[in-house]
Structure 1
């Protein structure tokens, strides 16, 4: 069984045993870099907004980014170089532990490399590999001040030069571009002036391929004289650039993608890179938890330790199990990412939840811990203040929550109902369309208050294979050949119910399973109306309910792998049952909900099972973290 200390990354006693020797070495030198400098240095660098040249010197000297971010195909025979999502996620967690700014320079380099490693441009790929080996950083030039990260719209325009010159001249601006000050290659998204692009009001699947001809991804050099760096748009240690290209020459060798390939490269790069948001949040929460619980355990007020007050016991227990949950989910999500294939794209849902739910769990944890230590959270000698700002920002980067909720909803029908279940093939639950009235009427007669009939329906398809644990030291080739970003409605999912039933011996897991089945009933008997399918606010509330189900599924899958204690899972699911009930109550109170939806929403509201003995054990686990780690001065 796992212990409380096993559930947190501790730099003083890290366990990297499932990684290869070179990976362990590079993790170790990174930890030594920060620990040898200490908290005073970390805070001073953050407070004075010092560009992290010292860290990048380490990256260059130890070839860290080169080793971790060069695919095997570009490694020139170096056996340690590969793109390995498991070790990249762990490195994100380590950097998040010490400061989101260090995570950010790594994260944005990953994004900048995405279009390059997906490109068929061999010269650009070789150039990127050489620059990584030289210790350079990269940037992802997608966002614009007027359009955000809207891949349908861009004002970066490439004008073809005459035949004698060849290539293009680029003009336009980009905004909110991390590493845009020093990136050796900036992967810039734009459009040709002489070719069509689709209108952002249109839906991609309704447009022919030729309507994407104008899209282009090209590589720019941040040090070129026609690359005009305007400013850092944030007041922080990282550099988040606004820049303009003014008559910037783009040669044919600079073109990474053209046409629909450029459009898909933008989306697929986000799938690869922003998966790391959740791991950065985990690292920040772990450091904040060590700091907060150490302070609270050692502070005496009114004759007792702060951790002995009833409200503090509740908050620390909740923060602790939420952190356990986000770590379990994230570790299992890695397996789905690494096992992805053209005929298994389940990772797209789990990836979206990683970016959205896990980052918001991090925000909840830091808020709970801040309430635990009160004003201490804002004092100048605390790492905690860095976590407060960093974790709060993650769910809000480029509309992370809103964008990924919209993406998650595209999978709801196939996930909740297994699209080929007998009798459900005619259903069109959000967002495809409303179920035929006769189907709803027939099914709802037998589904009042329960989804047992749905659960009993036989499957009409071959069983989807179970995804194994993926700690193998291999290159994740598929991530750079994901192909078209369309076809989401054809993605199939394994049944989510078996793992919940297996753990239904745990009282709050059983209650959560009943809630999830009641959600199935609601979706069948009171499916969204055509008007509601266009109401983003309504869909968001429904999505909050839906995404808790796959979140719970992967938590339990990983809990089985790690043999997590039942009492920890019971308390974690007490929190999830409460969250589920809260979202159901909000749906019931939504003014645009139908009478049937309001009624069915109340079926989802359940009281979690209380257990004082179990609660006391969780509190004891949380308190045992105190003193386990403290960064030296």
Structure 2
């Protein structure tokens, strides 16, 4: 079963007992807490102290966050696959718990990526007494403009430094034992990463910048906070690279959290609709409801398959294979936006019930909206993705095939990614053989025709395209069309590994064909699109091949078979 179901978690395979133990105990923590208490804490905006205590007691962040060579476990390793699974579980139960986890790994990774070996072991040991970490990057005046960081380290006569300045929108900034801070040296203006502790007297937690929420997103200030060389993690270009590489590692969590949110919401919506009788029919019998369930279920399956396969490419990355730098922002942006779309579809089924306080859905509908806004806006991530269009579409390269990588190996390269340069030179394996292997499915054939039409659009646009792509509105619409290709490609690769049926794959491409048509129409309507490009866009407008027998099988055998498959403990 591709979808996560806490009641069937014993069916998951892990390379070691410790990994299985973490997942099982985390599920038990939430199921023992129960839905009523989960919602009570959500409505009272109770900070997730209980989860922090659970993580500390079970030493979960030590196992998940630390790469080989750190911590007390001689078998310690860092696994993106394990992080994917844990992030999905937390999303399934609530974004506040996921956020505590997510910003902790963001906060710790600049230490692990840095040059200060002593600081790495010190931070690893500190996880035992306080597992919460924080990533001090954003500032109130500058937001995502990280070039303009104003926090400064001022050199002192004795060779130490005093840190001054404030950071804004910093998760866990109220309690974190390890707070990594990105700033500049006051005398040279070079970038620097250093570490502080939120319990220090020179650290002021000013406020929680968001209201009515379980999460603590801090504004904090450093008032002549004393810093020695022991607290400095990296300087100059290395500090800059460590900041971007930290985000590369951690923004992957956003997609997996979105998957978990959607999975729980799907179960809840199915359970409600199957028992709701209106006008002499159960809600699940109405044609429009079946279409809504079909589209939402297909999107969730696609999200999960993509996430599993993208995980493989992160784990297999090396200096000669950096394909993960496309699949990672797709996981962050594309999967998270798919999650928003799924929730809108499910809400049309639940209708007013989706507002009710006893439903998980009530909080999920709010929390899903935050996912695409974290770790760079969708436009920033799309700008990264769009830079890779020429090499992906027109300049493939041969690579050894990447297997499913869910074993116990350490993800060495993620903590040694090196300089953040040469992005536009990254090459990818040829996508067409992946689609041709499924060319017996009619909707895959239609999608392949849309890809050819997209290539014709790119070639027919000529040099005008380079100038047009400076317009973010145009660039985003173009990127939406392009992103469908690697997104669908990795889903196909993953489906082969997971043994997904032809019925399901043809159904997924029913959705993809419609999406590509919609994105192409949006591109055609942009102010910057010229008349020739408008005409070329029309070649991408296609209707999926209708197969009612296949559609009805998916509804009955795949989707409606999930009714009552999962109810959270009350």
Q: TM-score, normalised by structure 1?
A: 0.88
**What does residue 27 of structure 1 align with?**
23
Distance in 2 of aligned mates of 1:590 and 1:270: 31
1:88-487 equivalence runs, <5 A = 88-162=83-157, 165-196=158-189, 214-235=190-211, 236-418=213-395, 463-487=398-422
Determine helix, strand or coil for the equivalent of 2:146. coil
Distance in 2 of aligned mates of 1:504 and 1:360: 28
Does the alignment pair 1:17 with 2:10?
no
- Label 1:530 to 1:490 Cα distance change in 2 as closer, same or farther (>3 A): closer
**What does residue 617 of structure 1 align with?**
553
Q: CA deviation at 1:398?
A: 4.5
CA contact (8 A) 1:75 1:82 kept: no
Count of residue correspondences: 566
CA contact (8 A) 1:70 1:132 kept: no
Segments of 5+ residues of structure 2 without an aligned counterpart are: none
**What does residue 452 of structure 2 align with?**
517
Distance in 2 of aligned mates of 1:136 and 1:53: 12
Q: Which residue of the other structure, out of 48, 64, 70, is the alignment partner of 1:74?
A: 70
**What does residue 207 of structure 1 align with?**
none
Does the alignment pair 1:601 with 2:537?
yes
Distance in 1 of aligned mates of 2:490 and 2:65: 27
Determine helix, strand or coil for the equivalent of 1:7. coil
**What does residue 626 of structure 1 align with?**
563
Task: After superposition, give the CA deviation of every residue in 1:189-212 in whole Å (9 maximum; x if it has no partner).
Answer: 00112214xxxxxxxxxxxxxxxx
**What does residue 517 of structure 2 align with?**
581
CA contact (8 A) 1:231 1:243 kept: yes
Distance in 2 of aligned mates of 1:596 and 1:87: 48
Distance in 1 of aligned mates of 2:117 and 2:192: 17
CA contact (8 A) 1:19 1:87 kept: no
CA contact (8 A) 1:94 1:283 kept: yes
Does the alignment pair 1:490 with 2:425?
yes
Distance in 1 of aligned mates of 2:377 and 2:127: 28
Q: CA deviation at 1:78?
A: 2.8
Distance in 1 of aligned mates of 2:544 and 2:459: 25
Distance in 2 of aligned mates of 1:471 and 1:316: 30
Segments of 5+ residues of structure 1 without an aligned counterpart are: 1-5, 197-213, 420-460
Distance in 1 of aligned mates of 2:561 and 2:72: 48
Determine helix, strand or coil for the equivalent of 1:140. strand
Distance in 2 of aligned mates of 1:19 and 1:627: 30
Distance in 2 of aligned mates of 1:167 and 1:49: 41
Distance in 1 of aligned mates of 2:237 and 2:439: 47
Q: CA deviation at 1:585?
A: 0.8
Q: TM-score, normalised by structure 2?
A: 0.97
